[in-house]
Chain A
Amino acid sequence: MLHIVVCIKQVPDSREIRIDPVTNTLIRQGVPSIVNFYDLHGLEEALRIKDNIGARVTVVTMGPPPAIKALKECIALGADEAILVTDRKFAGADTLATSYVLAKTIEKVEEKWGKVDLVFCGKQTLDGDTGQVGPGIACRLDLEQLTYVGKVAKVDSEARKITVHRYLEDGTEVVETSMPALITALKELNEVRRASLPGMIRAARYEPITWTIADFENVDMSKIGLKGSPTVVGKTWVPEVRKIEGEIIKGDTPEQIAEQLTQKLAENNLAEKLGWV
């Protein structure tokens, strides 16, 4: 049976974040936390593999204790086990430090439940938008790296091969590789199921496994949290609205307005540049 790990993150719903017009800072209060939706597509694909050929699906997340809610959501959908990795010392991590801790976590999952064949991550998170944690984990665990996957075409657990479609700007790449592999999921990958009633009941009773730094051996303290993060945020600012002293074109009829506009554009040399004087 395949062993699949799905990495998820609880994120503020960035669509709900507003900027305080006075202080120019983010208003995080009252912003709902959700499971990063790309990660849910990764989980869904893992669950489909489980439904089709059988697999053990373990969900992991690094974050503060409220992330337990996100893990329970994954259990409700059908994950077998969920692990919260949480410690103040992990806080302030950028993508490099995050991928270190998640790689350590997956190694520990392997010690406990056996070799991992597939790891799913979301394409990127809604709050970070970097897409760097997946490649970071693949690199640290020496997994074949398959990013921007929009379709899993074939999983051959006998031959230990997987074929996926990567959706890129200029087309679709059909790629075959050997397992263990790491896949980052696009929303095109699948449609995420709804939790079943038995799933919800199991989730309500389920207590995610919590690991703190004390549960790990051989963690290099210089590679975690703020200390292990090479990037720092310098300054932040609200992008200024570029105010143009624009001209409102008026006229009595649409014809007049249109005529005036094209005249203005012609005077602006645009017509000439574009070849329609």
Chain B
Amino acid sequence: MSSQQKKDQMPDWSDYRGILVFVEQRDGVAKNVSWQLLGIGKKLADKLDTALMALVIGDNVEHLANEAIYHGADKVYLCEGPELKDYRTQPYSRITLKLIEDAKPEICLFGATGTGRDLAGAIATHVPTGLTADTTQLDVEPSPSRLLMASRPAFGEKLMATILCKNHRPQMATARAGVFEALPRDPERKGEIIRIENPIKNEDIATKVLDFIEKKNEVNLEEAEVIVAGGRGLGAPEGFKLLKELADELGGEVGASRPCVDAGWITHEHQVGQTGHTVRPKLYFAIGISGAVQHTVGMADSDVIVAINKDPDAPIFQFAHYGIVGDLFKIVPNITAQVKKRKAEKSDPTVIKA
């Protein structure tokens, strides 16, 4: 055997099988990213002909173990205890590490959230193994390599890179919220729930969560079916009023590109794109948005995109199903009026549709 062949030979990982997803929750409510991870995890597991596992840690979270099954898990590990009510690095990482040792998954997925990144970073160092942060594409090579191809944007989304972890197991990745699709919830789905003992005593943990101040989420871009987003072309914060009127008429939310947020025209929770939200609504309006890649990475997967811009060469038109070249201040109010009119016709039975 040549030295090159020797080098390419993979270690035997045949005792590492299955994909493990960490289910993130607060107060018994799961984060959507957890179900999205089960969605992509299921695809990968099917490709590798292996099991999809989930780990639920918390206090009174048995219902989430069932939810994990409804969302695609074959096997759910459940660890409950009052000490585990709030996420804390030390107890959560100890439980997860023990499970990784026992269950030997070949791939572990976490949400690229504050909690997911905190936990995954600690675990990967302990194992030790490779961890790819903030992935937006996940795929696997079939047997025998069974390699996770974890791809993520780099250098401000200008480049994509696939990261591989050839010589360590499990292969770990955190994945961005809103990028992968959850499976439809199926309450008929069956799976196995395995309780694991809670080894944690409160006095062993130095960290205490004194308080949690919930962010009042007035905007929920990830779940919105319609987003009316504005950019620098609005010229001033007042421009968002026009967008809000259209969004209200369509039952949607107002989004924004980064320059508007940086300029203080609108709050960060409205921001779509890199360093903001990744969204895939049924209908997305990009109004006065030029279409820089930092924005489009967050919205290009929307079902239908309408772009309105006065510059016919704006890159946003390359993403748009329908483009309108013109003055947004004249066009947007007219669209709002048209939607109003259609709604009125719908609710008025005397109007016969043509």
Residues of A within 8 A of B (CB): 14-15, 17-19, 26, 94-96, 99, 124, 127-132, 134-136, 138-140, 144-148, 163, 166-178, 229-239, 241-244, 246-249, 254-255, 257-259, 261-262, 264-266, 268, 270-271, 273-277
Contact = CB atoms under 8 A, between A and B. Distances in A.
B304 A270 contact: yes
Given A175-B208, A234-B162, A257-B331, A127 B339 contact: no
Given A127-B155, A274-B251, 9 more contacts: A136-B125, A144-B207, A173-B213, A174-B211, A175-B210, A238-B159, A254-B330, A270-B303, A276-B339
A163 B342 contact: no
A134 B207 contact: no
24 contacts: A18-B158, A26-B159, A96-B124, A128-B133, A132-B131, A144-B89, A144-B90, A171-B215, A173-B209, A231-B132, A232-B164, A234-B161, A235-B161, A236-B154, A236-B160, A239-B293, A241-B318, A248-B324, A249-B322, A249-B324, A254-B327, A258-B334, A265-B283, A276-B343
B114 A231 contact: no
Interface residues of B, number: 93
A132 B114 contact: no
Interface stretch (B44-52, B69-77, B115-123): B115-123
A168 B115 contact: yes
B130 A94 contact: yes
A275 B225 CA distance: 11
Contacts of A261: 306, 322, 324, 335, 338
B212 A173 contact: yes
B200 interface: no
A173 B315 CA distance: 40
Contact of A170 (B153, B214, B315): B214
Contact of A265 (B134, B209, B215, B304): B304
Contacts of B318: 241-244, 246
B155 A234 contact: no
Contacts of A173: 86, 209, 211-213
Contacts of A277: 342, 346
Contacts of B121: 95, 131-132, 134-136, 139, 147
A131 B319 contact: no
B300 interface: yes
B128 interface: yes
Given A243-B318, A261-B338, A96 B130 contact: yes
A203 B315 CA distance: 46
B342 A271 contact: yes
A147 B93 CA distance: 14
A233 B163 contact: yes
A106 B260 CA distance: 41
B338 A258 contact: yes
A276 B342 contact: yes
Contact of B208 (A145, A176, A268): A176
Contacts of A273: 225, 282
Given A135-B121, A135-B125, A173-B209, A237 B89 contact: no
B297 interface: yes
A129 B335 CA distance: 40
A165 to B, nearest CB: 8
Interface majority SS (helix, strand, loop, mixed), chain B: mixed
Contacts of A270: 282-283, 303-304
Nearest to B207: A177
Given A96-B128, A132-B124, A14 B282 contact: no
A98 B231 CA distance: 39
Interface string B128-161: 1111111000000000000001001111111111
Interface stretch (B98-106, B165-173, B191-199): B165-173
Given A178-B206, A246-B321, A265-B304, A257 B157 contact: no
Interface in B180-209: 206-209
Contacts of A274: 225-226, 250-251, 282-283
Question: Which of A19, A229, A249 is the most central at the interface, judged by chain B CB atoms within 10 Å of its CB?
Answer: A249
A175 B86 CA distance: 11
Contacts of B315: 241
Interface in B60-102: 86, 89-90, 93
Given A129-B133, A275-B251, A17 B155 contact: yes
B206 A144 contact: yes
B320 interface: yes
B118 A135 contact: yes
Contacts of B321: 244, 246-247
B325 interface: yes
Contacts of A127: 155
Contacts of B226: 274
A234 B149 contact: yes
A168 B320 CA distance: 33
List 6 A-B pairs, minimum CB-CB distance, nearest first.
Answer: A135-B121, A230-B130, A258-B334, A130-B133, A231-B130, A234-B162
Given A254-B331, A276-B346, A242 B167 contact: no
